Amino acid sequence: MSDQSLENYRTLHGLPELAGVADLAGAAGPGLEVQECVDRLKCFHYALHRIWQTLLTRIACEPIYELKMGYSYHAYLAAEHITLLRDRVAELRHPPLGLDKVPHENLEGFFDEIRNAPDRERMLAGLYRVALPALRESMRAYREETNPLADAPGLRVLRVVLPEVEAMITWGEKACAALENSGSGEGEDHTEWLEELGGWLAASGGLAGTEKEDSPPSPRYSTDEFRYDSKPQRDERFPDPYNMGVHAEEFLYDESFESRDKIFMMFYKRIREIDVPEMMASILYEMVTESGDEEAGGRPWGFYRDMTRQLWDEARHAMMGEVGFARAGIDWPSKVMINFTWSKGLNEQLTPRERHAVLWFIEQGLMSKTGKRYEWEVGADSGDEFAQLVQDFDWADEVLHARIGRDWYVKNFETVAAAADYGSACWDKVVSDWEQWKKEGLTEHRNWWPDLYREVCRHRGEEPDPRVLAYDRSYAETRADLQRIAASG
Ligand SMILES: [Fe+2]
Ligand SMILES: [Fe+2]
């Protein structure tokens, strides 16, 4: 069709053409063939899968809280993108879709180098300054080259994915710059290695394999086998991570205390949820690497997608607690001792399957009278709109988690009771040695509640109530109490 014919073409009444998805000239032009689209989408899929996996490896062992939360969010975004790309490939081709196949060995080498990066600065730079920008450029090229009418569903996927990839890059760039300015790293120059990463990409014909291939550089970090470290680490704002000296639930369920004071125990319970992403990341990473693809006994992608969503929800719950303290003017690092004993115990002592069982076992208890409804009621009764709002969403999220648990855990058992028995038995296996930690000088299990409460009162301009100030119940007393520590959802 000539340009002249297009110019002469008229819709009825001058109505917008082609349902608004494209203009005539764009739609009339050439575009990528279906196979080319599929090939590129599979490269995007592979890249996001590796990014997702790399982020999972850092959620537990990265000490800095803000990075832990950022990685949790981006792992979730990547899992959503992976899902969209899988679905689009499945629309274009019959199975087997070959989504588990590595598109190019040098692209694998590229991501192996980033995954094996020896420190946070290099991992961040590799992921956010090289891998994600390369993905963005390949997606932009796809967007320019594909036919906007014929491949409208493919473009719609990119309209969702691309802005989120761009937002990830923006966050990563800010994170790299903040760390550089803080002088927290070694201050080493990584330019040479970052150039090598570019070399790996060039050796695979670009991220989407659309260019001429160079020869690959020599591996720098990926010669050694990758060792996943699931031991949770925390930064300096968590000075007493073995502290189990304040029994939050006992205070919360005590009818003689006031809701307006209880909300601070709830903010503590929320921020303490940092341990759930630390634990869930280990399930997701280890289940992938242990069992491989679905045919080899792995789990279907839906499992990873749902569990990554839950991981992100738990990270959000932690941040809701952080905001609760921040808006009350409370410096939480000096007032609240947030422990990591739960994620540490599970990651070190249980298999991924057993950890999942414990997670479900704890969460199914949250729907009871003393669970999420009660916490929401406390929020509503406190007169604090934020506490009410946070608990409202926390409860709603928990309903989703219960569904995820039914779909991916309970279904593997004959009965719900059998699923609960197994979860309980796994939980019983975890040893949390209160006295031992004390003996080793890891903690004094100090009761930090009076300090926090005094600070709350100072901001309110009130005298502390001696009875509230005297609250002194720890998790030490019984094994049952120790187990309840994680019942924070
Ligand atoms: Fe939660
Ligand atoms: Fe949850």
310 alpha carbon – ligand 1 mean position (Å): 8
Q: Which residues have CB under 8 Å from 467's CB, separation 6+? A: 256
Comparison of pLDDT for 330 and 481, the residue scoring more: 330
401 alpha carbon – ligand 1 mean position (Å): 9
pLDDT at 289: 63
Among all bound ligands, the one having the nearest atom to the CA of 365 is: 2
Please count the other Cβ atoms lying within 10 Å of the Cβ belonging to residue 28: 17
The pLDDT of 107-132, averaged and rounded, is: 97
- Angle at 193 (CA atoms; ends 191, 195), nearest 5 degrees: 70
265 alpha carbon – ligand 1 mean position (Å): 15
Instruction: Tell me what percent of the residues of the chain surpass a pLDDT of 70.
Output: 94
Convert the pLDDT of each residue in 453-475 to its tens digit.
999 999 999 999 999 999 998 88
Among all bound ligands, the one having the nearest atom to the CA of 314 is: 1
Distance CA 103, CA 43 (A): 6
Please count the other Cβ atoms lying within 10 Å of the Cβ belonging to residue 418: 12
Instruction: Judge whether 423 and 361 are in contact, CB under 8 Å.
Output: yes
Q: Which residues have CB under 8 Å from 174's CB, separation 6+? A: none
Tokens of 87: 């679905």
Considering just the CA atoms, what is the radius of gyration of the chain in Å?
A: 26
Distance CA 124, CA 126 (A): 6
Q: pLDDT-derived band of residue 431, with 50, 70 and 90 as boundaries?
A: confident
Among all bound ligands, the one having the nearest atom to the CA of 270 is: 1
Q: Which amino acid is at 372?
A: K
Asked whether the predicted pLDDT for residue 159 surpasses 70, the reply is: yes
Tokens of 407: 């779909």
Q: Which residues have CB under 8 Å from 358's CB, separation 6+? A: 346, 350, 423, 426, 427, 430, 486
Distance CA 247, CA 225 (A): 42
Average pLDDT over the chain, rounded to an integer: 93
pLDDT at 486: 47
Query: Residue 315: is it exposed, middle or buried by C-beta count within 10 angstroms (0-12/13-18/19+)?
Result: buried
Question: What is this structure's pTM?
Answer: 0.95
Asked whether the predicted pLDDT for residue 174 surpasses 80, the reply is: yes
Instruction: Judge whether 340 and 272 are in contact, CB under 8 Å.
Output: no
The pLDDT of 466-485, averaged and rounded, is: 73
Buried b (16+ CB within 10 A) or exposed e, 159-190: eebbeebeebbebbbebbeebeeeeeeeeeeb
Give φ, ψ of 334 to 5 degrees. -90, -15
Among all bound ligands, the one having the nearest atom to the CA of 366 is: 2
Among all bound ligands, the one having the nearest atom to the CA of 363 is: 2
Q: Which residues have CB under 8 Å from 56's CB, separation 6+? A: 71, 75, 281, 284, 285
Q: pLDDT-derived band of residue 296, with 50, 70 and 90 as boundaries?
A: low
Instruction: Judge whether 85 and 45 are in contact, CB under 8 Å.
Output: yes
Asked whether the predicted pLDDT for residue 488 surpasses 50, the reply is: no
Convert the pLDDT of each residue in 389-429 to its tens digit.
999 999 999 999 999 999 999 999 999 999 999 999 999 99
Q: Which of these, 254, 103, 125, lies nearest to 188 by C-alpha position?
A: 125
Among all bound ligands, the one having the nearest atom to the CA of 393 is: 1
Tokens of 145: 């080259």
The pLDDT of 101-117, averaged and rounded, is: 97
Tokens of 197: 């990463």
Asked whether the predicted pLDDT for residue 263 surpasses 50, the reply is: yes
Convert the pLDDT of each residue in 70-100 to its tens digit.
999 999 999 999 999 999 999 999 999 999 9
Tokens of 241: 């991570």
Q: Rounded to whole angstroms, what are the CA distances from 8 to 1, 2, 147?
A: 11, 10, 21
Asked whether the predicted pLDDT for residue 432 surpasses 60, the reply is: yes
Convert the pLDDT of each residue in 180-217 to its tens digit.
999 887 778 899 999 999 999 999 999 999 999 999 99
pLDDT at 370: 66
pLDDT at 129: 98
The pLDDT of 131-147, averaged and rounded, is: 98
Query: Residue 250: is it exposed, middle or buried by C-beta count within 10 angstroms (0-12/13-18/19+)?
Result: middle
pLDDT at 366: 73
Convert the pLDDT of each residue in 280-295 to its tens digit.
999 999 987 655 555 5
pLDDT at 338: 97
168 alpha carbon – ligand 2 mean position (Å): 24
Q: Which residues have CB under 8 Å from 357's CB, separation 6+? A: 409, 419, 422, 423, 426, 427
308 alpha carbon – ligand 2 mean position (Å): 12
Among all bound ligands, the one having the nearest atom to the CA of 398 is: 2
The pLDDT of 266-278, averaged and rounded, is: 98
394 alpha carbon – ligand 1 mean position (Å): 6
Asked whether the predicted pLDDT for residue 15 surpasses 80, the reply is: yes
Convert the pLDDT of each residue in 326-369 to its tens digit.
999 999 999 999 999 999 999 999 999 999 999 999 988 776 76
351 alpha carbon – ligand 2 mean position (Å): 20
The pLDDT of 111-138, averaged and rounded, is: 97
Q: Rounded to whole angstroms, what are the CA distances from 390 to 180, 313, 318, 321?
A: 34, 12, 11, 8
Distance CA 320, CA 314 (A): 10
Q: Which residues have CB under 8 Å from 275's CB, separation 6+? A: 232, 339, 340, 342, 343, 486
Among all bound ligands, the one having the nearest atom to the CA of 359 is: 2
Q: Rounded to whole angstroms, what are the CA distances from 445 to 184, 364, 439?
A: 30, 28, 11
Instruction: Judge whether 279 and 342 are in contact, CB under 8 Å.
Output: yes
Q: Which residues have CB under 8 Å from 75's CB, separation 6+? A: 52, 55, 56, 59, 281, 308, 311, 312
